[in-house]
Structure 1
């Protein structure tokens, strides 16, 4: 049965698709984190500007 999976490249296709899904989720996670940090940084700077 394992030989059938390897012969048809089903395992390779599955692993490739799984890797793409993981990378897409990782990219989205990094984008959201950077956006949140940028927003907090801008809010912090605008707070300092209002104090002056």
Structure 2
């Protein structure tokens, strides 16, 4: 699998669709298309700075 993939995830009891991007060939970076989910999860800006 290369590039971006879309997955349904459960975030704080709420179902949402998240995009993940493969980085450094072994890690996945969580990317949100909806800033509402980023705010609910406590993220500033776009996506989770940590790998999934």
What range is the shorter-chain TM-score in? under 0.3
Q: Which has the higher helix share?
A: 1
Larger Rg: 1
Q: Which structure shows the bigger proportion of residues in strand conformation?
A: 2
TM-score by length of 1: 0.18
TM-score normalized with structure 2 length: 0.18
